[in-house]
Structure 1
Amino acid sequence: MNHSTPHPAPPPDTGPTESTSPARVRDSRGQPPPLLAQSAPERPPAPAVQQDDPVPSSAAVPRHLAVILDGNRRWAHKHHLPVTVAYQAGAQRVHDLVTWCEGAHIRYVTVWALSQDNLHRDPAAVTDILHAITTGLRAMAATRRWYIRAIGALDLLPAEHAEALRALEEDTRGIAGVTLNAAVAYSGRGDIVDAVHTLTQQRGADGEHDQPVTEHLVARHLSTAGQPDIDLVIRTSGEQRLSGFMPWQTAEAELYFTDADWPGFTHDDFLRALHSYAGRDRRHGL
């Protein structure tokens, strides 16, 4: 057995959210156009979903679903396409995802679109991802169906993108539909550190230095404050790790891993994840 010290897991090959680009890879029913159907991803077919009961009952679906969007570059390589097309296709897939969640009565959705570590990639690639993210989220906001929030270290982004993402939250605030958290330049540990820092500053200003810090108080200062913890995490592209994604909010989450690359993630893939979740016995430590 190899007892060498493992290397830290690399950040996810995350990509963006929705896009207005014509590069729509699959329609809302998860069907590929003819050209892409000829070059399907190299993975064994998954079991068919029962069409007579495609979505579990509302009592059996997660209140808060999170997806780690992995595999954009792998998908582009498999299909011999520029990676920018993959980012645009991945963006469209987020639009589809939120539409599917709306139909399944899932109230909160979080997608990890770009990690803080991803900012160290080639600047041109980061620019392409950010362009797809902002363009896609603008298109989603234009539907006036969903409340869209950008969470993460937005101050690390170029000003034009940071301002655009903040404006989207203001523009969609008060919309009663699905809440979408788009995690951009996001770090799970950074989320906790920021929450504790804000709480400490608030305590100091209120003269409450000696008051105990509780889990409830920390949770009130996280990026997802006011939302239920994540019930189900889906990670695409075959990777089986969380890579530091929301360690606090996923403490009791169910995990679901699929070989589908994010731009090729279909409605059937989504339903398989929901049925897997519905069949689990969640004991919450009991």
Structure 2
Amino acid sequence: MRPSTSETRAHPRHVGIVMDGNRRWARAAGHLDPRVGHRVGAEHLERFLGWCAGLGIEHVTAYVLSADNIRKRPEAEVANLLDLLATTIPRVLTRPDQPWRVHVSGDRSLLDERARRALAEAERATADRASHLTLAIAYDGRQDIVEGIRRSVALLDGRAPTVEEITAALPGGPVKEIDLVIRTSGEQRLSGFFPWQSVGAEIYSSERFWPAFSEADLAAALAFYADRRR
């Protein structure tokens, strides 16, 4: 049997990143305010995307903020996260030198108006770019599947959808299937990270906290992927 495309590529076509450990990085660095870790982590996404672009990886999905975190974390911390969604992340991604088209997956009703407006503008401003970045914001993996099924059924006028049709109805760029999921901070669980799209993905756990995750750490993850798919 002929191997699949993802098995024969030097690098994964689509990389998922669970950006974990911002608060722990801040504490380890001597910062009493966890907002420092979130800000540095948001800014670090630009570096990670630059490394991916340099390697020819044109599809990235990043876990930014879960719906559960919005509901359960302290109000002040959530307010800071929403401020980053309204300022730092859109500013970084809409720069003219960025190749990434922004897609957002999640329940935007959980966000404040300022964050919703900024993310919508980032999607609009980057709509003609060739590479694809999906941001999981106010995201719930099970709800993502439910919404994909609902959208596909509506498009098919009630006919039962196929797996391919449900996949196509999910948010994100044209390549939905994730080949490699990287989670930082040493955690082993996926925490609901795109369960439909990552069903065939390799999972790589890095001990680094997200703000300290380096280009060498990405190379190690890619080497792991290549070894697993060899």
- Could you tell me the TM-score, scaled by structure 2's length? 0.90
The partner residue of 1:91 within 38, 42, 59 is 42
Distance (Å, rounded) in 2 between the aligned partners of 1:241 and 1:72: 17
The partner residue of 2:137 within 184, 188, 210 is 184
The answer to whether 1:119 aligns with 2:70 is yes
Report the residue type matching 1:71 in the other structure: G
Match of 1:261 in 2: 209
The answer to whether 1:202 aligns with 2:137 is no
Report the residue type matching 2:138 in the other structure: A
TM-superposed deviation, 1:62: 0.7
Where is the helix percentage greater, Structure 1 or Structure 2? 2
TM-superposed deviation, 1:202: 2.9
- Aligned with 2:94: secondary structure? helix
- Aligned with 2:27: secondary structure? helix
TM-superposed deviation, 1:225: 5.6
Q: Do 1:234 and 1:257's aligned partners in 2 also have CA atoms closer than 8 Å?
A: yes
Match of 1:153 in 2: 107
Report the residue type matching 2:77 in the other structure: A
- Aligned with 1:148: secondary structure? strand
Match of 1:69 in 2: 19
**Structure 1 residues without counterparts, runs of 5 or longer:** 1-57
Distance (Å, rounded) in 2 between the aligned partners of 1:182 and 1:278: 25
- Aligned with 2:217: secondary structure? helix
Match of 2:218 in 1: 270
- Could you tell me the TM-score, scaled by structure 1's length? 0.73
**Structure 2 residues without counterparts, runs of 5 or longer:** 1-7
Q: Do 1:92 and 1:136's aligned partners in 2 also have CA atoms closer than 8 Å?
A: yes
1:98-247 to structure 2, matched below 5 A, reads 98-120=49-71, 121-134=73-86, 135-145=88-98, 146-176=100-130, 178-204=131-157, 209=158, 211-224=159-172, 226-247=174-195
Higher mean displacement: 136-145 or 108-117: 136-145
Aligned-residue CA RMSD in angstroms? 1.6
Q: Do 1:219 and 1:225's aligned partners in 2 also have CA atoms closer than 8 Å?
A: no
Larger Rg: 1 or 2? 1
Residues 77, 188 of structure 1: alpha-carbon distance in 2 compared, 3 angstrom cutoff: same
1:239-284 Cα offsets, whole Å, 9 max, x none, are: 10111111100010000001101111111111111111111136xx
Distance (Å, rounded) in 2 between the aligned partners of 1:250 and 1:201: 24
Structure 1 segments of 4 or more deviating over 4 A?
none
1:42-76 Cα offsets, whole Å, 9 max, x none, are: xxxxxxxxxxxxxxxx9310100000011011111
